[in-house]
Amino acid sequence: MNVYDSARIADMLQKEGYEEAKKQEEADLVLFNTCHIREKAAEKLFSDLGRAQAVAEERRAAGLKTVIGVAGCVVQAEDEQIIRRAPFVDFAVGPLMYHKIPQILRDMTENNEYKGVVHTDFPADSKFDFLPENKAQGACSYLAVQEGCNNFCTYCVVPYTRGAEYSRPVADVLKEAKRLIATGTVELNLLGQNVNSYHGEDEQGKERDLAYLLRRVAELDGLRRLRYTTSYPADVTDELIACHRDIEILMPYLHLPIQSGSDRILKAMNRRHRSGDYLRIVEKLQEANPALRMSSDFIVGFPGETDEDFQQTLDVVNRVKYIQAFSFKYSRRAGTPAAVMDNQVEEKVKKERLDILQKLLFSNQEAFNKSCIGKVMPVLFEQKGRHKGQLIGRTPYMQNLHIETDSANLNKIIEVEVIDATTNSLSGKEI
Residues that bind ligand SAH (CB under 6 A): 37-38, 155-156, 158, 193-194, 230, 232, 257, 259, 297, 299, 328, 330-331, 333
Pinpoint the alpha helices (H) of 321-421.
347-371
Is the bond preceding 230 in cis, omega lying within 30 degrees of 0?
yes
CB of 326 to ligand SF4, least distance (A): 12
Q: Which residues bind ligand SF4 (CB under 6 A)?
A: 149, 151-153, 156, 158-159, 193-194, 232
Q: Which is nearer to ligand SF4, 153 or 403 (CB)?
A: 153
Which of ligand SF4, ligand SAH, none lies near 330, with the C-beta cut-off 5 to 8 A by kind?
A: ligand SAH
Q: Tell me, what amino acid is at 125?
A: D
Q: Which does 297 bind (CB under 5 to 8 A by kind): ligand SF4, ligand SAH, none?
A: ligand SAH
Show Cβ contacts of residue 428 under 8 Å, excluding neighbours closer than 6 positions. Answer: 377, 379, 401, 402, 403, 416, 417, 418, 419
Q: Tell me 99's DSSP state.
A: G
Task: Please say which residue, 126 or 270, places its beta carbon nearer to ligand SAH.
Answer: 270
Query: Which is nearer to ligand SF4, 140 or 294 (by Cβ)?
Result: 294
Which of ligand SF4, ligand SAH, none sits in contact with 266, Cβ below 5 to 8 A by type? none
**Smallest gap from residue 330 Cβ to ligand SAH (A):** 5
Question: Closer CB to ligand SF4, residue 233 or residue 428?
Answer: 233
Q: Which is nearer to ligand SAH, 230 or 390 (CB)?
A: 230
Distance CA 377, CA 368 (A): 14
Selection from ligand SAH, ligand SF4, none that 192 binds (CB < 5 to 8 A by kind) is none
Distance, first Cα to last Cα, the chain: 36
159 binds, among ligand SAH, ligand SF4, none (CB under 5 to 8 A by kind): ligand SF4
Shortest Cβ 390–ligand SAH spacing (Å)? 32
Write phi, then psi, for 91 (nearest 5 degrees). Answer: -155, 155
DSSP 3-state of 17: coil
Write the single-letter amino acid at 224: R
**Cα gap 233→241, rounded to integer Å:** 12
- Rounded Cα–Cα distance for residues 84 and 69 (Å): 14
Q: How far is the CB of 151 from ligand SF4 (least distance, A)?
A: 4
Q: Which is nearer to ligand SAH, 257 or 428 (CB)?
A: 257
Q: Are 28 and 65 in contact (CB under 8 A)?
A: yes
Q: How far is the CB of 273 from ligand SF4 (least distance, A)?
A: 10
Q: Which is nearer to ligand SAH, 71 or 325 (CB)?
A: 325
CB 82 within 8 A of CB 75: yes
Distance of CA 112 to the CA centre of its chain: 35
